[in-house]
Structure 1
Amino acid sequence: MKLLRVGVKGKEKPAALDKNGKFRDLSSHITDLNSDTVNFETIKKLESIDLESLTEISNSERIGACINKPGKFVAIGLNYSDHAAESGMDAPSEPIVFMKATSSINGPNDDIEISKDSKELDWEVELGIIIGKDTKNISEKEAENHILGYCLVNDVSEREWQLKKMGQWVKGKSHDTYGPIGPYLVTKNEISDINSLNLSLDVNGQRMQTGNTDKMIFNVFFIVSYLSKYMTLQAGDIITTGTPPGVGMGKKPQVFLKAGDTIRLSIDNLGEQNSKVVAE
Structure 2
Amino acid sequence: MKLASLKSGRDGRLIVVSRDLSRAVEVSNIAHTMQQALDNWQQTEPRLQNIYQQLNEQQSLGFEFDQQACHSPLPRAYHWADGSAYVNHVELVRKARGAQMPDSFWHDPLIYQGGSDTFLAPTQDIQIPELDWGVDFEAEIAIIVDDVMLGCSTKDAGQHIKLICLVNDVSLRNLIPGELAKGFGFYQSKPSSAFSPVAVTPDELHTHWQDSKVHLPLSVHFNNELYGQPNAGVDMTFDFSQLLSHAAKSRPLAAGTIIGSGTVSNKDRSVGSCCIAEQRMLETIEHGKPISSFMRYGDNIRIEMFDHQQNSIFGQINQNLHPVE
Q: Which residue of 2 aligns with 1:248?
A: 276
Question: Among 105, 127, 140, which residue is 2:154 paired with?
Answer: 140
The C-alpha deviation readout for 1:208-254, integer Å capped at 9, x for no partner, is 23322221110111111221113211211100111134222231324
Which one has the bigger helix percentage? 2
Q: Does 1:186 align with 2:193?
A: no
Q: Which residue of 2 aligns with 1:5?
A: 5
Q: Which residue of 1 aligns with 2:320?
A: 276
Contact 2:76 2:118 in 1 (8 A): no
Question: Among 67, 70, 73, which residue is 1:66 paired with?
Answer: 73
Which one has the bigger strand percentage? 1
**Mapped partners of 2:146, 2:318: distance in 1:** 27
Question: Among 91, 94, 105, which residue is 1:85 paired with?
Answer: 91
Q: Does 1:205 align with 2:195?
A: no
Deviation at 1:160, TM superposition (A): 1.8
**Mapped partners of 2:293, 2:228: distance in 1:** 13
Contact 1:112 1:276 in 2 (8 A): yes
> What are structure 1's unaligned runs of at least 5 residues?
none
Equivalent runs, 1:196-235 vs 2, <5 Å:
196-214=215-233, 215-235=235-255
SS in 2 for 1:88: helix
Deviation at 1:57, TM superposition (A): 4.8
**Mapped partners of 2:203, 2:71: distance in 1:** 23
Percent identity over the alignment is: 23
Contact 1:8 1:62 in 2 (8 A): no
Letter in 1 for 2:294: F
**Mapped partners of 1:9, 1:113: distance in 2:** 21
Letter in 2 for 1:75: D
Q: Which residue of 2 aligns with 1:169?
A: 186
RMSD (CA atoms): 2.3
Equivalent runs, 1:22-171 vs 2, <5 Å:
22-34=23-35, 36-38=36-38, 39-49=41-51, 50-51=54-55, 52=58, 55-59=62-66, 61-77=68-84, 79-88=85-94, 90=101, 92-93=105-106, 94-116=108-130, 118-165=132-179, 166=182, 167-171=184-188
**Mapped partners of 1:141, 1:46: distance in 2:** 27
Letter in 1 for 2:122: P
Deviation at 1:73, TM superposition (A): 0.4
| TM-score of the pair, normalised by structure 1 | 0.89
Deviation at 1:107, TM superposition (A): 1.0
Deviation at 1:13, TM superposition (A): 2.3
> What are structure 2's unaligned runs of at least 5 residues?
96-100, 266-272, 281-289, 307-312
Question: Among 249, 256, 263, which residue is 2:301 paired with?
Answer: 263
Greater mean alpha carbon deviation, residues 2-11 or residues 99-108: 2-11
Letter in 2 for 1:23: A
